[in-house]
Amino acid sequence: AQSVTQPDIHITVSEGASLELRCNYSYGATPYLFWYVQSPGQGLQLLLKYFSGDTLVQGIKGFEAEFKRSQSSFNLRKPSVHWSDAAEYFCAVGSPSGSARQLTFGSGTQLTVLP
Amino acid sequence: DAGVTQSPTHLIKTRGQQVTLRCSPKSGHDTVSWYQQALGQGPQFIFQYYEEEERQRGNFPDRFSGHQFPNYSSELNVNALLLGDSALYLCASSSGWGYTFGSGTRLTVV
């Protein structure tokens, strides 16, 4: 069974500082990988996804993520955080095989941005 | 173009009651998935509907059931509500791996 671990429950950074959110997955092969963001009381918005190819993926809002097969990781990064980035971030995996496109999510990382 | 619409946005039910949540998918999407998000947790997959049939199911009891209509809209039904069913229920429509999530229905069981 596939699983996702987000080791950091809560991260606090100052506005303008760089950010890295960690994600590790467990899966028999290379899964499809996703990062979503959720603001309070809202649904999930896709930031970026990785299916294959270039292991550095660019997303919306200035976010990027790097897939590292050897570490089973897909960490999310942003060079300079804005106050509006405060939200909860979820890493998710999906299985490339089979017909059902089910997502398995991590437990999330809550990001606080200090002025 | 409207995204995914869920109704109601909030509701309160009593233990033992039954509830129906509704979802209208994004235009062009033929698949609907339901997720349960407990407070402080990530979303957990309940089931997925495609062509009016349940294609995949997560680790949820039979008290959770669903339906997809010919226009691709969907309902999630939960019977014999438990306090532990209190959560945000997210509907996501998709075509392939292009998921769009709704804002969810906040269910409180008292």
3-state SS track over A1-15: CCEEECCCCEEEEEC
Taking CB atoms and an 8 Å cutoff, what residues of chain A touch B24?
none
CA distance A93 to chain B (A): 11
Q: What is the mean pLDDT of residues B71-82?
A: 97
Written as tens digits, the pLDDT of chain A (115 aa) is: 789 999 999 999 999 999 999 999 998 788 899 999 999 878 899 999 999 999 999 999 999 999 999 999 999 999 999 999 999 999 999 988 877 788 999 999 999 999 9
Residue B2 pLDDT:
66
Residue B52 pLDDT:
94
Neighbours of B73 (CB within 10 A): 17
Residue B1 predicted with pLDDT over 70: no
Coil vs helix vs strand at B76: strand
Residue B14 predicted with pLDDT over 70: yes
Put simply, whether A46 touches B (Cβ < 8 Å) is: yes
Contact B103 A94 (CB under 8 A): no
Q: In what helix (H) or strand (E) does residue B37 lie, and over which residues does it extend?
A: strand B31-37
Mean pLDDT (chain B, rounded): 95
Pick from A103, A107, A109 the residue to mutate for testing the B interface (most B CBs within 10 Å): A103
Residues 15-44 in A contacting B (C-alpha not used; CB under 8 Å)? 32, 36, 41-44
Residue A30 pLDDT:
82
Taking CB atoms and an 8 Å cutoff, what residues of chain A touch B92?
44
Contact A49 B96 (CB under 8 A): no
Residue B4 pLDDT:
96
Residue A92 pLDDT:
96
Residue B93 pLDDT:
95
Which token pair is B45? 């997959």
Residue contacts between A and B (CB atoms, under 8 Å):
62
Q: Which residues contact A48 (CB under 8 A, 6 or more apart)?
A: A34, A35, A57, A58, A59, A60, A63, A64, A65, A76
Residue B45 pLDDT:
96
Of B50, B97, B102, the CB nearest to A43: B102
Coil vs helix vs strand at A112: strand
Coil vs helix vs strand at A71: helix
Coil vs helix vs strand at A58: strand
Pick from B89, B91, B95, B101 the residue to mutate for testing the A interface (most A CBs within 10 Å): B101
Cβ-defined contacts of A65-72 (< 8 Å, 24+)? A65/A33, A65/A35, A67/A33, A69/A30, A71/A24, A72/A24, A72/A25, A72/A26, A72/A27
Residue B30 pLDDT:
93
Coil vs helix vs strand at A86: coil
Neighbours of A108 (CB within 10 A): 24
Residue B33 pLDDT:
96
For B35-75, write each residue's pLDDT tens digit.
999 998 999 999 999 999 999 999 999 999 999 999 999 99
Taking CB atoms and an 8 Å cutoff, what residues of chain B touch A98?
56
Closest CA to B99 of A52, A94, A57: A94
Q: Is there a contact between B77 and B66 (Cβ–Cβ < 8 Å)?
A: yes
Residue A99 pLDDT:
72
